[in-house]
A and B are shown apart, each in its own frame.
Chain A
Amino acid sequence: MSYIGAQPTTAAFVTDQFSGDGSTTVFTMSVAPANSASVIVAVSGVLQDPSTYAVSGTSLTFSGAPPTGTGNISARYLGLPASGVATTAYRTLTEFTATSGQTTFSVPSYTAGFINVYRNGVMLGTADFTATSGTTVVLAAGATAGDLVTTESFYVSGVSNAIPAVAGAVNTSYITDGAVTTAKIDDAAVTQAKLGTNVAGNGPAFSAYNNSNISCSTGTSTKVLYDTERFDTNSCFDTSLGRFTPNVAGYYHFNASVYSGDSPSNSFLKIQKSGTDYTRSTQVVNDARQFTLSVMMYMNGTTDYVECYFDNNKGSTITINSYTFTQNFDGCLVRAA
């Protein structure tokens, strides 16, 4: 047939055939159409309305089981390349000048069943060549030297498997395990609700002790200067001030303790939040040497801070000793805000 302009090129649509058994309703297709409107389904030669079947991935599900029959179900896919999808060329025309007796020709990648072969301009029938490897064409009979062998190959998998640009089209099966890096996740985007059970956070935590004696006048609240850190994960503890200023908002648990060999009975250890008394220890009257305190409080993650003070009420100056074993101030984030 003659054409005005270039000869039209055509390719068959990918078709699957299934055999019904009267009970099976789900069949696995070789491609994943975008939706039920992207595939023409016929049962026993009768075109099916798209409302009678559904498509999900490569599953074709009928609302009712097709009848028994060998190859009586056909699914023909109407996949068209999605805009912007990068894929191997769909159609490739390749010409060879044959040598005497040449039968094998290496052609660009193609999908088996989607290749036309011409010899000196005459299209060969399917019995005249074999093209199943995806990369070669083998003529049934050797060519004559100088024969012009032309292959018109099609690569359709990239088109049929293109992910449609519709919401919900991409699921985890299309993402390689381990492919999503943290760089793809916005800072602070992972919420507490997305954490599994028994997963500890990495909020601020610190532990410090006082490595110097501290003199405390009676009737006076004297800051306990915990001046040495054991650890300070977020650099929120200031040893020069004995002050913890967390940089993450949330609920914190604090422990504090002091020891004085001067037995400052009637005295207290207390924690101040941002300069205001927040809580203090039990008052011990007789021969009190060790004072301990624990508390939970909310910290805003910016300006709130905590410090410890010792209220000496013995009636004379006492000394808080520099025992690392007994002088502790530590805390950590228990729950984010």
Chain B
Amino acid sequence: MSLYQKIITLYPELTIEDFTSMNLSGTITLQNDSDGKGDYIAKWEHPTLARPTDEQLESAQ
């Protein structure tokens, strides 16, 4: 499961429009620098939802 899918699982109210990959005014940026370290949250500025912790992401299925 990708980082995006884990976040959507944790916060079902989020849509692709909340992510800057789709919407330039989105508040969440997920990034992968192709350096082998995988996807990561580069920016989390959502007005109401808290940035998920590593533990929450680990448990999201």
Contact = CB atoms under 8 A, between A and B. Distances in A.
Dominant SS among interface residues on chain B: mixed
Contacts of A311: 20-22
B34 A221 contact: no
Interface string A206-224: 0000000010111111111
Interface in B17-34: 19-22, 24, 29-34
Given A311-B21, A313-B21, A217 B16 contact: no
B31 A221 contact: yes
Given A217-B39, A311-B22, A222 B4 contact: no
A216 B31 CA distance: 10
Given A242-B34, A309-B31, A220 B21 contact: yes
B3 interface: yes
B53 interface: no
Nearest to A280: B24
A268 B29 CA distance: 14
B59 interface: no
B2 interface: yes
A142 interface: no
Nearest to A210: B34
A267 B20 CA distance: 11
A317 interface: yes
Contact of B21 (A224, A225, A312): A312
A222 B34 contact: yes
A315 interface: yes
14 contacts: A218-B2, A218-B5, A218-B21, A219-B19, A220-B30, A220-B39, A221-B29, A222-B39, A223-B35, A267-B21, A277-B20, A311-B20, A311-B21, A315-B16
